[in-house]
């Protein structure tokens, strides 16, 4: 469902997407932007998928241990219910949300909320990781971050999976994934 962008009240909302591979700094950039909004005395609420407990049950934590308090949610619709009277909404791990996250972000922006959402744009096979491509299409601002290939040192855009697991959704850290360029990812181990 397409929602026409517009202004409700006297505030203009928008959608910012931060995307890239694992270890590219997406969550770190999300946290940086949210902390700046808090410094500016804006009302901020942060959400993450409830099943993502890799570093903490409630906090959004980057791989280099930067963190910010968040509210874990089971689905995208919960964000609409919980994001009342806020200026900025941050959402981490966009790729783990259902497709409804697209409409949730649009609805928040129409309320006049600045929405900052971070997630993988490609899965471990190098395929678009939905719903991030749809979020990119409706966003007002896009930041694509890159990691450094652990094999050759070039720019890395692939979250290379070191295991033989085939499911698309597999939570992990450096024990399961590493950043690789397209060439080194294609070469495998």
Q: Is residue 84 part of a domain?
A: yes
CB 101 within 8 A of CB 127: no
Q: Is residue 9 part of a domain?
A: no
Cα separations in angstroms, 107 against 15, 32, 80, 182, 186:
10, 24, 8, 36, 39
Q: Is residue 107 part of a domain?
A: yes
Q: Is residue 92 part of a domain?
A: yes
Only one residue has tokens 């931060």, namely 18
Candidates 93, 134, 173, 178; catalytic one: 93
How many domains would you assign to the chain? 1
Q: Is residue 115 part of a domain?
A: yes
Q: Is residue 109 part of a domain?
A: yes
Q: What is the pLDDT of residues 9-54, one digit of tens each?
A: 567 899 999 999 989 999 999 999 999 999 999 999 999 988 765 5
Is 93 considered catalytic here?
yes
- Look at residue 159 and tell me whether its pLDDT is greater than 90: no
Give the model's pLDDT for residue 3: 47
Strand 88-91, strand 141-145: pairing: unpaired
Q: Is residue 97 part of a domain?
A: yes
Give the model's pLDDT for residue 7: 46
Q: Write out the H or E segment, with its range, that includes residue 37.
A: helix 26-39
Q: Is residue 40 part of a domain?
A: yes
CATH number assigned to the domain comprising residue 66: 3.40.50.300
Q: What is the pLDDT of residues 83-92, one digit of tens each?
A: 999 999 999 9
Residue 120: give the domain boundaries: 14-145
């Amino acid at each position: 469902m397409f929602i026409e962008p517009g202004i409700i009240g006297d505030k203009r909302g928008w959608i910012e997407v931060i995307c890239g591979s694992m270890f590219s700094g997406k969550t770190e950039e999300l946290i940086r932007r949210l902390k700046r909004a808090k410094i500016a005395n804006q009302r901020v609420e942060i959400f993450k998928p409830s099943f993502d407990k890799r570093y903490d049950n409630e906090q959004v934590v980057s791989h280099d241990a930067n963190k910010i308090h968040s509210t874990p949610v089971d689905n995208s619709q919960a964000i609409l219910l919980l994001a009342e009277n806020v200026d900025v909404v941050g959402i981490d791990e966009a790729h783990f949300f259902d497709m409804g996250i697209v409409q949730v972000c649009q609805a928040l922006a129409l309320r006049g909320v600045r929405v900052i959402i971070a997630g993988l744009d490609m899965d471990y096979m190098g395929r678009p990781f939905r719903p991030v491509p749809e979020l990119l299409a409706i966003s007002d601002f896009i930041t694509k971050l890159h990691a450094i290939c652990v094999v050759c040192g070039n720019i890395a855009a692939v979250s290379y999976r070191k295991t033989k697991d085939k499911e698309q959704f597999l939570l992990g850290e450096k024990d399961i994934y590493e950043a690789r360029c397209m060439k080194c990812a294609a070469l495998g181990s």
